[in-house]
Amino acid sequence: MRVYLEGDATAEEFLSMLLSIGNGELTADESGLVTIPPGCGELVNGVEAISGKVFPNLDYPTDFLNSLDLSGMPPHNLKLKVGCPVMLLRNLDAPDLFNGTRLIIKQILPHVLEATILTGLAQGKDIFILRIPLIPSDLPFQFKRLQFPLNVCFAISINKSQG
């Protein structure tokens, strides 16, 4: 285990405690636990506080991640209504649901959407779409969004008409 001091007095105290445990100077009690002296280390509450202490300069703020508008991914804040035409952004079920399939929203539930297929071989078929994890690949870092793979579609461009 490495401990980087970087001018931190508590890190230096923690380092000396680790060395004394390794040298056998600080022994465990009957239950096999070593008591850490008071003032050595810092208590934090929650995962965000831990990641902020461990990686102080590497965390991206949530507002920044939500503001990213990436190609092939739906916007962070997807506003849908019943009767809204949408386009599918992922291949879900090969013969019926593929990238570029146009749908119309029939019912909105908290974790699932009911929609009717407007184009293709399964035209008129009612389907359910779940929220899926989407991970963009064109960024220097990775993050995951759990959302519906849809985008509002009032018009379709020539790029989606292949063949």
Taking residues 33-43, what's their average pLDDT?
72
Q: Are the beta carbons of 91 and 149 closer than 8 angstroms? A: no
- Phi and psi for 99 in degrees, rounded to 5? -55, 125
pLDDT of amino acid 104: 94
> In the predicted model, what is the mean pLDDT of residues 77-87?
90
Query: Could you report how far apart the first and last alpha carbons of the chain are, in Å?
Result: 58
Q: What is the pLDDT of residues 9-26, one digit of tens each?
A: 667 777 788 888 888 887
Give me the pLDDT at residue 74, please. 78
Task: Supply 82's token pair.
Answer: 């019943």
CA dihedral defined by 19, 21, 23, 29, rounded to 10 degrees? 160
pTM of the model: 0.56
Q: Report the chain's mean pLDDT, rounded to a whole number.
A: 81
Identify the pLDDT of residue 8. Answer: 67
The whole-number average pLDDT for the span 109-119 is 91
CA atoms within 13 A on the CB side of 155: 2
pLDDT of residue 4: 59
User: Count of alpha carbons within 13 Å of 58, Cβ hemisphere only?
Assistant: 8
User: Does the structure show a pLDDT above 70 at 73?
Assistant: yes
SS3 (DSSP) at 130: strand
Q: Which two tokens stand for residue 24?
A: 């056998």
3-class secondary-structure state, position 53: helix
Domains in the chain: ranges and CATH? 9-54 (no CATH), 69-160 (2.30.30)
